[in-house]
């Protein structure tokens, strides 16, 4: 499994703590250190719409100017934004066998995915 996120994000911390406490092996991909490649984003977009991948409730989105926000209208514009500002991606993203199995952290869903 691979967990994508930012180490200082509280939701990512909850997910990592849960995975560690349940002795679930995972690789952590730090958006801040490693960014995110276009192929990975396209893979995610094949599974979830950009509206779910971009966290429009987060500080990064709210800090964008209105022109930038209104310019995000499709996958192409969303990819550019997610690569330029990785903090706008909903996190954490939990990937298992190349499939996005969870966006955000939901303990019950993690139990179902990881412990079954």
Rounded to whole angstroms, what are the CA distances from 31 to 4, 5, 65, 107?
7, 6, 22, 22
- Along the 116 residues of the chain, how does pLDDT read in single tens digits? 999 999 999 999 999 999 999 999 999 999 999 999 999 999 999 999 999 999 999 999 999 999 999 999 999 999 999 999 999 999 999 999 999 999 999 999 999 999 87
Fold type of domain 2-114: Glutaredoxin (3.40.30)
Residues in contact with 97: Cβ distance below 8 Å, sequence separation at least 6, in sequence order: none
C-alpha to C-alpha distance for 65 and 55, rounded to whole angstroms = 15
Contact 4, 103 (CB under 8 A): no
100 bridge partner residues: 95
| pTM for the model | 0.93
Q: Which residues are catalytic?
A: 9
So where are the chain's domains?
A: 2-114
């Amino acid at each position: 499994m691979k967990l994508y996120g930012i180490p200082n994000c509280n939701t990512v911390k909850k997910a990592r703590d849960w995975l560690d406490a349940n002795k679930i092996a995972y690789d952590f991909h730090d958006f801040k250190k490693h960014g995110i490649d276009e192929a990975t984003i396209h893979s995610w977009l094949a599974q979830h719409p950009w509206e779910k991948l971009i966290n429009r409730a987060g500080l990064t989105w709210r800090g964008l100017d209105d022109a930038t926000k209104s310019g995000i209208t499709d996958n192409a514009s969303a990819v550019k934004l997610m690569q330029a500002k990785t903090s706008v991606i909903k996190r954490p993203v939990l990937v298992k066998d190349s499939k996005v199995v969870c966006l955000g952290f939901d303990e019950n869903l993690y139990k179902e995915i990881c412990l079954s």
